[in-house]
Amino acid sequence: MARAAEGKGTRASKPRVSIIDCDIHNAVPGLDALFPYLPERWRRHAQTIGMRGRNALAKGHVYPKSSPEACRVDAWPSSGPPGSDLALMQHQHLDPLGIAIGILNCLVNLGPQLNHEWAAALSRAVNDWQVAEWLDKDARLRASIVVPYEYPELAVQELRRAARAHPGFVQVLILVRTQEPLGRPHYRPIFQAASEVGLPVALHFGGTSGHAITACGWPSFYLEDHTSMSQAFQAQLVSLVLEGVFERFPQLRVVMVEGGFAWVPPVMWRMDQHWRRLREETPYLRRAPSEYVRAHIALTTQPMEEPEHPGHLLDLLEMMAEGPKLMFATDYPHWDFDAPDRAFPVQIRDDARTQIYEANARGLYRL
Amino acid sequence: MARAAEGKGTRASKPRVSIIDCDIHNAVPGLDALFPYLPERWRRHAQTIGMRGRNALAKGHVYPKSSPEACRVDAWPSSGPPGSDLALMQHQHLDPLGIAIGILNCLVNLGPQLNHEWAAALSRAVNDWQVAEWLDKDARLRASIVVPYEYPELAVQELRRAARAHPGFVQVLILVRTQEPLGRPHYRPIFQAASEVGLPVALHFGGTSGHAITACGWPSFYLEDHTSMSQAFQAQLVSLVLEGVFERFPQLRVVMVEGGFAWVPPVMWRMDQHWRRLREETPYLRRAPSEYVRAHIALTTQPMEEPEHPGHLLDLLEMMAEGPKLMFATDYPHWDFDAPDRAFPVQIRDDARTQIYEANARGLYRL
């Protein structure tokens, strides 16, 4: 929405620390932009069938209409959607805000695609397009590998191929609302492969799972969807930890992008408490659930938590001081963008600032 | 589980404040115990058809088998399930722990019943049984009116009838996992009637909604169900506030029972933040969402939040100092019972203690 974009500005003053922006959205302008990267069979498919997934009708719930593609009104290039024009991204975002490194999360609705071979072809094309149009054109950029994650065997093939293809791929991307909780055995090959090639797996806001977004069914408003999306992150955190994914893959790191982070300490407490009493159900866990969260999870800051009393944000950071790690993100070019110099509603300590704006991401992504 | 019951004991030392226990479970020993309160037609129904609801097979997910009915192993009377014997409840709970007032929440699986007239007859019988077998026999007890809440017209009839029938009924009970979020128009007559007769509506852990308990589908473990149930409370809080239920019914109070409370500040922050940017979608809200939470919501303490660093519980209480209100509860006779003198893992201030153990409930329920 226009008002939203104005609410947090893009003031050009550079903050004092080097900034790694862990959530920038590059966008495929349209399926035809992928034609150079698609075999003939799938070019025809794109023209005759196109995207065909579960819950096509639910798309209206994802973003408000007044904010097409959920983007800032000032972020539309002369042609194509926001995030599709590297020059505008450089001019409007990377250069003036002094972004040292920006991590691209290209949101393609691969999860619900019903034709699994199309989903795989599309993911290959998007990744090749990212190499040619983004990674090879600006040394500040890194990118996430998109994969057809509901088809783990195909996802693993593409994950391994892309990881070998370009060193600029720094993680594997999954939209958070999957068809089953991600700790379930179905998805295990993806985490195994990511762990083996040494890439974190990022879970990003969005996706269409086929399930209602609440335990009590479908809510009425976009405002509720947007508020409740953090519950999908909670569910995935609980599932990954309690299914023992981190016990199986001790090198694996998972990044939660755009899901908030104030909910993390309450979920850690609740998991530990119930686990102490019910641990027989998950005998392979050798540590308290919260310890896996501390060791294996990172979260991005946007949308920043904004308590009525800003001091409560410091209490929250204190609760998270021993982990999990926070990493700064803007969500450019989306409407609820956080500018680096205005993201935190309260002064945070210099060492925490350095960790959040730069060091945590540098460590996690080996930058 | 046996271990669990031993974990938090029933030590008989009386705490210093008067205790109002906001969550005690009395149990119907079996459908035949309700025969004196059922018309002939429904006695026959109970014998020939019985309970018949959605998700009958999902019941196994609700409680671990090692803890039948999810109850303390020491709480089984000589016959019938835990909570079905007033004498044992008096001897084991009310007398030794010095419970001044105990609020009974009789968990009957009314929500998923498919025969709506049976659901209504059953709720009437349970409420009449509660009057005869509990309220009229111990002056310390109060009770929740059970209603067929998926059939609001029938629920309103029973709510009004029971509220007139006995002054010991102090609230209306709904299990938190409903078929739709409770702010949806379908349920509005229940909140209107509760508001008109001056009774709070309690949402209690449990229920079978037909929907997966997470936005990402069905998890593998009871441990996950138990951890994720707080998400159902989050969804209901968001729905009630954003649908304007408290704007329509300014006298209405809602009590959230056995859903935790550490998640409340994060949800208040997130709702406020998104509402500031998207308030056009809910133009009837005249205040920030968090203000409705502060004014209209109370939560019970069991299961107590148990941070690794107990001091973080004090930070949490500070975040909630301006509301919503907390009220003490034991959850007797269930397996994760909190004893009054051991519930808080950290020393809390005397005034907070008085509020939580007694004053908040006295005010809310006009005791």
Whose tokens are 């149930």? That residue is B229
Q: Three-state DSSP class for B314?
A: helix
Residue B294: count other Cβ atoms within 10 Å of its Cβ: 17
Does B214 sit within 8 Å of A181, measured CB to CB? Answer: yes
ipTM rounded to 2 decimals? 0.78
Do the Cβ atoms of A275 and A287 come closer than 8 Å? no
Residues 6+ apart with CB under 8 A from B293: B237, B241, B264, B267, B268, B323, B324
Whose tokens are 């210099």? That residue is A350
Does A212 sit within 8 Å of B215, measured CB to CB? Answer: yes
Does A178 sit within 8 Å of B216, measured CB to CB? Answer: yes
Residue A298: count other Cβ atoms within 10 Å of its Cβ: 23
Q: With an 8 Å Cβ cutoff, is B236 touching chain A? A: yes
- Dihedral angle sign, alpha carbons of residues B203, B206, B210, B213: positive
Q: Please state the three-class secondary structure of chain A as a single string.
A: CHHHHHHCCCCCCCCCCCEEEEEECCCCCCHHHHHHHCCHHHHHHHHHCCCCECCHHHHHHCCCCCCHHHECHHHCCCCCCCCCCHHHHHHHHHCCCCEEEEEECCCCCCCCECCHHHHHHHHHHHHHHHHHHHHCCCCCEEEEEECCCCCHHHHHHHHHHHHHHCCCEEEEEEECCCCCCCCCHHHHHHHHHHHHHCCCEEEECCCCCCCCCECCECCCCHHHHHHHHHHHHHHHHHHHHHCCHHHHCCCCCEEEECCCCCCHHHHHHHHHHHHHHHHHHCCCCCCCHHHHHHHHEEEECCCCCCCCCCHHHHHHHHHCCCCCEEECCCCCCECCCCCCCCCCCCCCCHHHHHHHHHHHHHHHHCC
Q: What's the pLDDT score for residue A16?
A: 61
What DSSP state is assigned to residue B59? G
Do the Cβ atoms of B367 and B101 come closer than 8 Å? yes
Q: How far apart are CA A276 and CA A271, in angstroms?
A: 8
- Position B357, amino acid: Y
Work out the minimum CA distance from A2 to partner chain B, whole angstroms. Answer: 10
Task: Please name the member of A178, A211, A239 whose beta carbon is closest to the beta carbon of B224.
Answer: A239
- Position B331, amino acid: D
Over range B85-113, report the average pLDDT. 94
Does B223 sit within 8 Å of A209, measured CB to CB? Answer: no
Q: Strand order in B325-327's β-sheet?
A: B19-24, B99-104, B141-146, B169-175, B201-204, B254-257, B297-300, B325-327
B78, pLDDT greater than 50: yes
For A:1-30, CB contacts with B below 8 A are: 1, 3-4, 7
- Position B288, amino acid: A
Residue of A nearest to B176 (CA): A216
Name the nearest CA neighbour of B85 among B41, B23, B145, B27: B27
Q: How far apart are CA A184 and CA A182, in angstroms?
A: 5
pLDDT along chain A (367 residues), means of 10: 35 64 96 95 87 56 60 87 95 96 95 89 97 98 97 97 98 95 96 98 90 86 88 96 97 97 97 91 95 98 93 95 95 90 90 96 97
Residue B324: count other Cβ atoms within 10 Å of its Cβ: 25
Q: Three-state DSSP class for B135?
A: helix
User: CA distances (Å), A48 to each of A13, A27, A35, A45, in order?
Assistant: 48, 22, 13, 5
B64, pLDDT greater than 70: no
Residue B38 exposure: Cα atoms within 13 Å on the Cβ side: 23
Paired residues of A21 in beta bridges: A102
For A:322-341, CB contacts with B below 8 A are: 335-336
Q: What's the pLDDT score for residue A133?
A: 98
Does B278 sit within 8 Å of A226, measured CB to CB? Answer: yes
For A:242-271, CB contacts with B below 8 A are: 242-243, 260, 262-263, 265-271
Give percent helix, percent strand, percent coil of chain B, each to the nearest 5: 45, 15, 40
For B:29-68, CB contacts with A below 8 A are: 64, 66
Name the nearest CA neighbour of B173 among B86, B256, B296, B54: B256
Choice between B335 and B241, residue whose per-residue pLDDT is larger: B241
Paired residues of A297 in beta bridges: A254
Task: Please name the member of B66, B209, B271 whose beta carbon is closest to the beta carbon of A216.
Answer: B209
Element (H, E) at B17: none
Q: What's the pLDDT score for residue B280?
A: 87
Q: What's the pLDDT score for residue A279?
A: 87
Does A221 sit within 8 Å of B176, measured CB to CB? Answer: no
B262 contacts in A (CB within 8 Å)? 265-266, 269-270
Q: What's the pLDDT score for residue A67?
A: 62
Identify the band that residue B333 occupies on the pLDDT scale cut at 50, 70 and 90.
very high
Q: How far apart are CA B347 and CA A151, in angstroms?
A: 51
**A50: exposed, middle or buried (Cβ count in 10 Å: 0-12, 13-18, 19+):** exposed
Across B20-52, b (16+ Cβ under 10 Å) vs e yields bbbbbbbbbbebebbeebbeeebbebbeeeebe
What DSSP state is assigned to residue B168? T
A309 contacts in B (CB within 8 Å)? 319
Do the Cβ atoms of A304 and A356 come closer than 8 Å? no
B176 contacts in A (CB within 8 Å)? 215-216
What DSSP state is assigned to residue B39? -
Residue B71: count other Cβ atoms within 10 Å of its Cβ: 22
Q: What's the pLDDT score for residue A4?
A: 35
Residues 6+ apart with CB under 8 A from B330: B21, B23, B24, B93, B97, B302, B337, B338, B339, B340, B343
Q: What is the pLDDT of residues A265-286, one digit of tens each?
A: 999 999 999 999 888 889 999 9
Report strand pairing: A254-257 vs B141-146.
Answer: unpaired
Element (H, E) at B214: none
CA angle B278, B284, B286 (to 5 degrees): 85
Choice between B1 and B129, residue whose per-residue pLDDT is larger: B129
Long-range (24+ apart) CB contacts under 8 A made by B347-350 are B348/B314, B348/B317
B15, pLDDT greater than 60: no
A55 contacts in B (CB within 8 Å)? none
B354, pLDDT greater than 70: yes
| % pLDDT > 90, chain B | 71
Does A234 sit within 8 Å of B278, measured CB to CB? Answer: no
Chain-wide mean pLDDT for chain B? 90
What DSSP state is assigned to residue B15? P
Residues 6+ apart with CB under 8 A from A280: B66
Residue of A nearest to B181 (CA): A216
Q: Three-state DSSP class for B144?
A: strand
B61, pLDDT greater than 60: no
Q: Three-state DSSP class for B334?
A: strand
Residues 6+ apart with CB under 8 A from A314: A346, A348
User: CA distances (Å), B29 to each of A166, B89, B124, B147, B204, in order?
Assistant: 67, 14, 16, 19, 20
User: CA distances (Å), A105 to each of A61, A134, A257, B125, B337, in order?
Assistant: 21, 12, 10, 57, 45
User: A204, A225, A227, A305: which to substitute to probe chain B, counting the most B Cβ within 10 Å?
Assistant: A227
Task: Please name the member of B227, B234, B265 whose beta carbon is closest to the beta carbon of A307.
Answer: B265
Tokens found for residue B14: 């009386």
B6, pLDDT greater than 60: no
Any idea how long chain A is?
367
Name the nearest CA neighbour of B173 among B232, B125, B103: B103
CA angle A93, A176, A114 (to 5 degrees): 110
Q: What is the pLDDT of residues B238-252, one digit of tens each?
A: 999 999 999 999 999
Choice between B220 and A10, residue whose per-residue pLDDT is larger: B220
Q: What are phi and psi of A175, to 5 degrees?
A: -80, 140
B36, pLDDT greater than 90: yes
User: CA distances (Å), A133 to each of A6, A158, A238, in order?
Assistant: 29, 19, 37
Tokens found for residue B91: 């001897």
Name the nearest CA neighbour of A22 among A351, A302, A334, A270: A302
